[in-house]
Amino acid sequence: MFIAVTNQKGGVGKSTLAVHLAVRLSELGNRVAFIDADRQGTATRWIPHVDESIELATLREPDEILERARELLATHDYVVADAPANLDDVTRCILLLADLALIPCGATVPEMESTQSAIRIIKNAQAVRDGKPDALVVFNRLPANERQRLVREAREAQHCLGFPVAKQALRLRAAFADAPGQRTVVWRLGASAKKAAAEMHGLIEEVLRYVKASPTKHRPNTQRGAKVVPRKRLATRTSTAAEADAQGGAGPATKGRSKTTHASH
């Protein structure tokens, strides 16, 4: 299963969603690979510290993505890709491989307009690939108060987006901004991140239901001789970091040993 996280607009929590999805899939017992195609390289700096069993490939060119992705799909249960924050040839290449495209989107008019561009590219890929990839819009960074006007308007705009919208939204919470700097995921940040953890777990469960793929049916593919590396847990930490872009932050580093592939340039 190849899952791509994509949107033209940066700063919508694309890398945060992709990393949390990959880590959760790994925790559920799946063999997971991650393709970081975003030139900011957030996931490349983040994943080795949070789950050393995830095979990480940092790739920037369409041809190398096509070649490496096929190899990873043959030996892993899931491949998760963090597409670049634009709709260039790399994004189109990823959509030619993906089974499912997740589209994180804010609730403001400019964010929904930029999502329309991503939706158009996905629909073009579907026309070429006989309906693939499936797509799911994820509302992200919404105000915490469900009754606020901005949230209501976003809900009412769902029919205009052209794709199904996940029922579970991610709200604007400090834990989502803290996680990249802490080099961890929100459910390891302790009690202060309880609401963020519940939202992310709920979203991932909904994604798995959407693709009709029960986590218990995707076991590590050890019959191919691949070694599953024991997973290392980070100590739980809390942070009072200011609300920052989830793509940034340089928190304390904890060395990991995830298998990483960097493309040559």
Each residue of 197-229: pLDDT tens digit?
Answer: 999 999 999 999 988 753 434 333 433 333 333
Is 60 exceeded by the pLDDT of residue 257?
Answer: no
Among residues 71, 116, 124, 117, which one has the least CA distance to residue 93? 124
Cα dihedral angle (234, 14, 136, 192), rounded to 10 degrees? 40
Is 90 exceeded by the pLDDT of residue 108?
Answer: no
Tokens of 37: 């195609």
pTM of the model: 0.78
**Rounded average pLDDT over 121-140:** 92
Among residues 32, 31, 56, 53, which one has the least CA distance to residue 44? 56
Give yes or no for a contact between 7 and 88, defined as CB atoms under 8 angstroms apart. no
| Alpha carbon distances (Å) from 45 to 18, 102, 117, 172 | 13, 22, 28, 23
Q: What is the largest CA-CA distance in the chain?
A: 54
Query: What structural domains does the chain harbor?
Result: 2-216 (3.40.50.300)
